[in-house]
Amino acid sequence: MKAILLVTLAACAGTGVRDTAAVTAGKIVTARDNGAQTCAPVELATAEAHNDYAVHQLDEGNYAQARDAEVIAAKNAQLAIDHSPVERCAPKKPVVVVKTVEEPPPPPPVEKPPVDSDGDGLVDSIDQCPNEPEDKDNFQDDDGCPDPDNDQDGILDVDDKCPNEPGVPPDGCPRVYKNIVVTETKIELKQTVYFDTNKTTIKPVSFSLLDEVASAMKDHPKLTVEIQGHTDSQGDDNFNLKLSQGRAESVRTYLIKQGISSDRMVPKGYGETTPVADNRTADGRAQNRRVEFVITGR
């Protein structure tokens, strides 16, 4: 008797789920008509898939699975409708235009001759400065813009004797230094920066050399450097590393006092890790005890 009652209850539950599935199917049709494929494709697809699954489970007698799937289907069918207002999402019906009178074809467009407003030989369509003539000085002459200061050193080309090399007043040519050379990668020193033995104190004999480094950085105001400290291999490795860091920081402090901004210089000690000569000889060790200025930005 109990088994008969359970079968009866399950059948009733299945009928309720099937009725709900039918209502959901109608909502799915409405959502499609409203344009849910465009405005709510995920909700529409979820509703269709779960509704079909619910009906299939009912046919198999799996009422609990059918009920759970139908809850998801009904929820997403309603979301698909809510997210698909007809006025915004419904597919537009094509408008059929019937011509009753044969219209003559439009006349061909009249091609206008290319315009060169500033008369520099570059038409306006490719001229980046159509109202300013190019100065034709073999420096970026293909952009159509005048370049009054090619090397951007603040000295106009008409007064610059080295117009393609950043220089300094009064002639605009690069300054020639006595003890340093500014290359693409370094401020190279022709002398050694001397320190007190096993200390970070700079000896006065090196002040004039560092003053030239300060002058070069003032002449190249966008230049940034890494100040590298190096030692020879004598002594404790950790002590040498700290010593090289301290010496690099001392050089940075000296240059700050000469007016160089601190954010243009990063001190870095390398200790004895990057020798340039043989540490087994006195001359090699002397070469390895050095300060280098590596350019990191221009």
Mean pLDDT calculated for residue range 130-143: 80
275 & 254 share domain: yes
Q: Establish if 98 belongs to a structural domain.
A: no
169 & 191 share domain: no
Q: Establish if 102 belongs to a structural domain.
A: no
Number of residues in the chain: 298
142 & 204 share domain: no
Mean pLDDT calculated for residue range 246-264: 98
Q: Express each pLDDT in 6-47 by its tens digit.
A: 444 445 556 888 899 899 998 999 988 888 888 989 998 998
* CA geometry: angle 231, 185, 276, nearest 5 deg: 30
Phi, psi of 268 (to 5 degrees): -145, 120
65 & 150 share domain: no
Q: Establish if 104 belongs to a structural domain.
A: no
Structural domains counted in the chain? 3
**For residues 184 and 220, what is the distance between their CA atoms, to the nearest angstrom?**
12
Give the per-residue SS3 of 14-59: HHHHHHHHHHHHHHHHHHHHHCHHHHCHHHHHHHHHHHHHHHHHHH
Q: Establish if 97 belongs to a structural domain.
A: no
On the question of pLDDT at 250 being above 90, the answer is: yes
One-letter amino acid of 292: E
Q: Express each pLDDT in 76-100 by its tens digit.
A: 989 989 988 988 888 776 666 666 6
pLDDT of residue 99: 61
pLDDT of residue 36: 85
Q: Establish if 134 belongs to a structural domain.
A: yes
Q: Establish if 271 belongs to a structural domain.
A: yes
291 & 189 share domain: yes
49 & 21 share domain: yes
251 & 192 share domain: yes
Q: Establish if 109 belongs to a structural domain.
A: no
pLDDT of residue 189: 97
Give the pairing type, strands 224-230 and 265-269: parallel
Q: Looking at 173, 204, 239, which one is the last position of a domain?
A: 173
**Higher pLDDT pick, 108 / 97:** 108
On the question of pLDDT at 4 being above 50, the answer is: no
Residue-number span of the structural domain to which 282 is assigned: 180-297
Instruction: Label residues 251-276 b or e (16+ Cβ within 10 Å = b).
Output: bbebbeeeebeeebbebebbbbeebe
β-sheet bridge partners, residue 168 = 173
How confident is the prediction for the chain on average, in pLDDT? 87
pLDDT of residue 9: 43
pLDDT of residue 14: 65
Q: Looking at 155, 173, 191, which one is the last position of a domain?
A: 173
On the question of pLDDT at 200 being above 90, the answer is: yes
Q: Looking at 152, 173, 194, which one is the last position of a domain?
A: 173
Q: Which of 199, 286, 206 is nearest to 249 (CA)?
A: 199
**Higher pLDDT pick, 147 / 234:** 234
Q: How far does CA 13 lie from the centroid of its chain?
A: 60
Q: Establish if 110 belongs to a structural domain.
A: no
- Which helix (H) or strand (E) is 250 found in, with range? helix 237-257
